[in-house]
Amino acid sequence: MLNALGESRQLKEELFKDTAFIEDRDEVWISSRECLQRNLDGIKVESVGMLFARKKNKLEMTVNAVQLFCSTIKAIELTREESMKFIEGEPIATRLQDGEYIAGYGKSALDVGVVKQGPLKRRT
């Protein structure tokens, strides 16, 4: 699962040592292994886990998952003003190469940003 997301997410494997991924149609949920060892007959996956990613054209982490699990060590550091614009979906001027980046402010990851021939934009 972690390999499918690529290095751009900077996911630390040790964060996931006691977790399990559950695939449900086009969604991927995450839960503790201990929780899944209990009798869960008749319980929906939403009751025991958190939506981690959605399968669209590729696997995309949810905003919650990015904020909880993505490292900001190599994130694109935004100013307060830039972070507000980024969250609102406005483009941020940059000289980055085309690709996907974790956008952060302070010590927090905000979401995945995409650079395609110009500015950094929050993924849609």
pLDDT in tens, 41-69: 776 656 778 899 998 888 888 998 888 88
**CA–CA gap between residue 68 and residue 36 (Å, rounded):** 21
pTM of the model: 0.72
Domain with CATH 3.10.450.220 in the chain: 2-69
pLDDT computed for residue 83 by the predictor: 94
8-state DSSP, 70: B
pLDDT computed for residue 81 by the predictor: 96
Domain with CATH 2.30.130.10 in the chain: 76-122
Report the CATH number of the 76-122 domain: 2.30.130.10
Task: Tell me the CATH class for 2-69.
Answer: alpha beta
Q: Quick one: which of 13, 118, 113 has its CA closest to 3?
A: 13
**CA–CA gap between residue 101 and residue 98 (Å, rounded):** 9
Tell me the average confidence (pLDDT) per consecutive run of 10 residues in the chain, 124 residues long.
Answer: 68 84 88 77 72 88 87 80 95 91 88 92 87
